[in-house]
Structure 1
């Protein structure tokens, strides 16, 4: 059963400080109030509760047994309120708080790693939860309220309840290891490439969907030789000469510079892909999440 308080919180605040200081005068001074008003409020509170809360004397006031019982509850409540106010102030100053973000593996390597590093350096008190999700998993996690933000790669399909903001475009390139080094000397069509073993992400990934659409436009059915779970698994397999693979250029550059893999030019330029930041249109973001969003988009 819900019970409505007859006395408002301001009465209990005054009661708390009178009990804490043991004096109407000191409570009035602390609250920037006056003693007659403090006395009036305590009298009204005692009338509402039907009992005496203080014993008055020339030395001040002391709590009655009923007053001590009430004071224990009010003190606990007041401390919790102060704690809540302190936490809000800390959150507002980004000294504490938390943010959860779903990041696809491509988005992590191509965009988010330096952003997360900078964010954590500037706001060490904020706890970050990073979930490694595929694009469909990231969309689902955001729709279910499991994360504050999602940073994922195209192609993507989002519902009307989500807002997607483009952050960055990136380019996929075709690479091969030492056994396929000769292919890097001239341009090849997708039909040429389809004759070689291809290493792709699994068929339920957006990267596989991207390649499937690409090959279908050339009237070719994509038939990978090896399927992997994540993009960064493609690179070492290509380095070991087990086939060709499409990866973001940024991810391949270190291996290209070390001559572990070789870029294979194509007759047609691959369409660029994009990384987007998603958020729920209705659910408000915490201050920490708003700041991570701002730093991601700037």
Structure 2
């Protein structure tokens, strides 16, 4: 089948915007040309790809299948174009980073601030992912690298580089002030509501495993999508939560939450960088990766 590849590009934008006119605008083309190209593509593929309505278009089942493949190809084309345009140096590069929210908040933001001050022309594309999603984005080539929290498992050609350890603490809202100053055992938490990230996150899996090792069952009553949602819920007395000390510290200092001591030691966790050893990076991504890994370089940049 000898289909004009330009048709696939037009198909991608029509499917993305669900509108022929918007697709034509994005492509710097005319709406009649876009419509004609899609009619030709449907004719050459011998199937209907769109259902036309007064409000726009939506994909048929056949169109959905094609879009999955074409969108993946378009992302690769766009990444290739960016890599080629960025290879001239650090003045106009683009870096695509997948980051878990905890890693972003307690580690990556400080480093990005320093990097951006030094190289303001470099564009940063930050995707907020769970750790498994961020690693998948590196594997697929959508991200240059990922900055995530343990526990993680990576397989070649992906490589894991430890960056910084961090410690979680248990916190509660004002309603749980009776726990302040006491040494509680993990089993004592059975009667208290717990707040945690969702089951698809490494944080959930970390605590599920730690509780299991301690002979307890981890059953949080409230699961949230992002770590930024945890602290407001704790402040509102909706439950207790494990949170990195660095994220909880301002609220502790302001006495908006209390710290709860446990007899069992919460294992330290780690922030890691994950990259594909077989995929070359542009100059900007290589420079940021070096800054993240090399603490001495970071200190020099801060100074």
Given candidates 152, 157, 160, the residue that maps to 1:156 is 152
Matched, 1:278 2:271: no
Given candidates 161, 172, 176, the residue that maps to 1:176 is 172
Displacement of 1:185 after TM fit? 1.2
Alignment match, 1:196: 192
> Pairwise mapping of residues 21-32 of structure 1 onto structure 2 (< 5 A)?
none
Number of equivalent positions: 212
SS at match of 2:96: strand
Given candidates 159, 162, 167, the residue that maps to 1:166 is 162
| CA distance in structure 2 between the aligned counterparts of 1:242 and 1:234, rounded to whole angstroms | 10
> Pairwise mapping of residues 110-259 of structure 1 onto structure 2 (< 5 A)?
110-259=106-255
> Pairwise mapping of residues 1-40 of structure 1 onto structure 2 (< 5 A)?
none
Residue 183 of structure 2 contacts residue 262 of structure 2 at CA under 8 Å; is this kept in 1?
yes
> Pairwise mapping of residues 50-89 of structure 1 onto structure 2 (< 5 A)?
none
| CA distance in structure 2 between the aligned counterparts of 1:149 and 1:112, rounded to whole angstroms | 12
Given candidates 236, 240, 260, the residue that maps to 1:264 is 260
Residue 176 of structure 1 contacts residue 238 of structure 1 at CA under 8 Å; is this kept in 2?
yes
Q: Deviations over 1:230-284 (max 9, x none)?
A: 1111100000111100000000000000000011000011100001001101001
Residue 86 of structure 2 contacts residue 282 of structure 2 at CA under 8 Å; is this kept in 1?
no
Residue 86 of structure 2 contacts residue 283 of structure 2 at CA under 8 Å; is this kept in 1?
no
Residue 194 of structure 1 contacts residue 222 of structure 1 at CA under 8 Å; is this kept in 2?
no
Given candidates 279, 291, 294, the residue that maps to 1:295 is 291
SS at match of 2:211: helix
| CA distance in structure 1 between the aligned counterparts of 2:279 and 2:84, rounded to whole angstroms | 19
Displacement of 1:91 after TM fit? 5.0
Structure (1 or 2) with the larger CA radius of gyration? 1
Structure 2: tracts of 5 or more residues without a match: 1-82, 295-303
Structure 1: tracts of 5 or more residues without a match: 1-86
Residue 102 of structure 2 contacts residue 149 of structure 2 at CA under 8 Å; is this kept in 1?
yes
Displacement of 1:194 after TM fit? 2.4
**Structure-1-length-normalised TM-score:** 0.69
**Structure-2-length-normalised TM-score:** 0.68
Q: Compute the RMSD of aligned alpha carbons.
A: 1.6
| CA distance in structure 2 between the aligned counterparts of 1:92 and 1:115, rounded to whole angstroms | 23
| CA distance in structure 2 between the aligned counterparts of 1:128 and 1:287, rounded to whole angstroms | 13
Displacement of 1:88 after TM fit? 8.3
| CA distance in structure 2 between the aligned counterparts of 1:228 and 1:192, rounded to whole angstroms | 23
